[in-house]
Amino acid sequence: VLDIRKLYGQTGAFTYDPGFTSTAACESGLTFIDGDEGILLHRGYPIDQLAEKSNFIEVCHLLLHGELPTAAQYEKFERNITMHTMLHAQFDRFFEGFRRDAHPMAIMVGTVGALSAFYHDSLDINDPTQRYISAIRLIAKMPTIAARAFKYHIGQPFVSPRNDLNYAENFLRMCFAVPAEDYEVNPVLARAMDRIFILHADHEQNASTSTVRLAGSSGANPFACIAAGIACLWGPSHGGANEEALNMLKEIGTPENIPDFINGVKNRERRLMGFGHRVYKNYDPRAKVMQQSAKEVLAEVGDPNDPLLQVAQELERIALHDEYFIERKLYPNVDFYSGITLSAMGFPTTMFTVLFALARTVGWISQWQEMMEDPSQKIGRPRQLYTGPTRRDYVPISQRG
Ligand code: ACO
C-alpha cells in the first residue's frame, strides 16, 4: 500500500497492483475458484459434476438465474433461447464485407458489436426486462454468428439454425452440414461440444470478463460490452492460448523432441502454452475433464494413438516432475487439451477462440447482469502511478535544442 497523498494531493491510500493480482474489483456470486486446491464452483456446484451430469443450457440457467432449473423452468428457458437463434436477414451483409481470409475472431468482434444496430430495445440498459432479453439474445445468437464466421471463413454457404436440436447439436450442424447433403450429428461429438461449452462458461474476473464489466460500468450496451470481451479474449495469453498450444504440440511433433523444447522454455526462449494460470497454482480442474474428452473424441473420430495426444501427455508427465515447473506451480490449464479435441472434431485452429467466446458469453452476460443489479456499482476507473516529468514550462520550437 503506497501512501501517495502528497504526490496526488488527495486523501486516502492507493494500492499499486499491476495486473490486479490482489485486488478484488467487485462482489460476485457466480463463480468460486480456489487456485491452490484446484477447485472451481459455479453457484456452489463443482465444475466436474456439472461437466459430467448437467448440460450447457442448465449451466446457462444456473449462471443467469442463480439456480439449476426445474423441469418446467428448463423447458421454458430452452424454448426462449431457441426462439432467438435467427439473425436479421440484413446481417448477412456484414459477413459479405469481410475478406474471405479474415480471422473468424475478427469477424466475431465486428458482428457481435453490430448486434446493437439491430436491437434498439436492448439498448435500454436500465430496464431489467430488456437486460434479460439481451442476455437471451446473446446466448441464442452466438452459435449462429460463430457458425457463420466459420462457414464464411471456409467459403461455404450458411446453414440456418434448427430448433429441434439441442444447443451443441444445432451448432455442430450449422458448422458441418452442407446444404443438400444429409448430416447426422454424432452424439459423442455433440456431448463433447456441450462439455467444452460448460467448461468455458465462466471463470470469475479473468481479463475478458473484467473488460466486459469495465465497459458495462460506463453504461455501454450489452452487445458492445460482449464485443469488448471478445476482443480481449483473442489475445494469446488468454483465449488464444488453445490455438497456440496446438501449434506448439504440432511443432514438437514427437515425444523425442520434448527435452529440447523444455530446455528452450527454461531458457525463457518461449512459454509452454496451455500451462500456468494466474489463479490456479494446482491442476486446473477443467483440464482433467478436457483430457478425458480428448480421449473420447479421438476414440470416436480420430486416432486413439494420435501422436499429438502422446506428445501432450508426455509433455505433461515431464513438466510435472521438473523443478522449473514445480517451483513456479505451473500445471496444465483448460487449453492444454482443448486444441487436440477441437481439431479432432474438425475445427481449424482459427475457430478455437471463437468457440471459447461462444461458451463464455453466458458468463460475461451473467456478470454484466449482476453488475447492473448491484446498487454499489460505479464506473470503473483505475488510477496510476505517474512516472513522467514534473511540471515544466512550454518552450517555443525555435528555442528547443
Ligand atoms: N511456460 C513457462 N514458464 C511460465 C509459464 C509457461 N506457460 N507461465 C508462467 N511461467 C513462469 C514465468 O516465466 C515466471 O517465471 P519467473 O518467476 O522465473 O520470472 C513465473 O512462471 C510466473 O509467471 P507470470 O507470467 O508472472 O504468471 P502470470 O500469472 O502473470 O501468468 C499466464 C499467467 C499468462 C496464464 C501464464 O502462465 C502463461 O503465459 N501461460 C501460457 C499461456 C496460456 O496457457 N494461457 C491460458 C490461460 S488460461 C485461459 O485463459 C483459459
- Going residue by residue through the chain (401 aa), what tens digit of pLDDT does each one get? 555 555 555 556 778 999 998 999 999 999 999 999 999 999 999 999 999 999 999 999 999 999 999 999 999 999 999 999 999 999 888 888 999 999 999 999 999 999 999 998 888 999 999 999 999 999 999 999 999 999 998 999 999 999 999 999 999 999 999 977 888 999 999 999 999 999 999 999 999 999 999 999 999 999 999 999 999 999 988 888 888 899 999 999 999 999 999 999 999 999 999 999 989 999 899 999 999 999 899 999 977 788 888 999 999 999 999 999 999 999 999 889 999 899 999 999 999 999 999 999 999 999 999 999 998 889 999 989 999 999 999 999 999 98
203 CA: nearest ligand 1 atom: 51
Say if CB 2 and CB 14 are below 8 A apart.
Answer: yes
Give distance in angstroms: CA of 376 to centre of ligand 1: 33
For residue 94, the model assigns a pLDDT of: 85
Collapsing DSSP states into helix, strand and coil, what is residue 271? coil
Number of DSSP helices (H) and strands (E) in the chain, helices first: 18, 3
DSSP 8-state symbol, 270: S
Say if CB 338 and CB 196 are below 8 A apart.
Answer: yes
For residue 305, the model assigns a pLDDT of: 80
88 annotated active-site:
no
36 annotated active-site:
no
For residue 47, the model assigns a pLDDT of: 97
Give distance in angstroms: CA of 396 to centre of ligand 1: 47
For 342-377, b where at least 16 C-beta lie within 10 A, e where not — what string? bbbbebebbbbbbbbbbbbbbbbbbbbbbbbeeeee
Say if CB 173 and CB 143 are below 8 A apart.
Answer: no
Beta bridge partners of 32: 41
Residue 13 and residue 245: Cα distance in Å, rounded?
41
Collapsing DSSP states into helix, strand and coil, what is residue 141? helix
All three cell numbers of 46: 463443482
C-alpha of 93 from chain center: 26
With 0-12 / 13-18 / 19 or more C-beta atoms within 10 angstroms meaning exposed / middle / buried, residue 393 is: exposed
206 CA: nearest ligand 1 atom: 50
All three cell numbers of 9: 494531493
Give distance in angstroms: CA of 276 to centre of ligand 1: 5
Strand order in the sheet with 45-46: 31-34, 39-42, 45-46
For residue 240, the model assigns a pLDDT of: 82
207 CA: nearest ligand 1 atom: 50
Q: Is the CB of 334 under 6 A from ligand 1?
A: yes
Residue 199 and residue 120: Cα distance in Å, rounded?
32
pTM: 0.91
Residue 352 and residue 342: Cα distance in Å, rounded?
7
Distances (CA, A) of 7 to 44, 234, 386, 390, 393: 44, 37, 9, 11, 19
Q: Is the CB of 330 under 6 A from ligand 1?
A: yes
Give distance in angstroms: CA of 288 to centre of ligand 1: 19
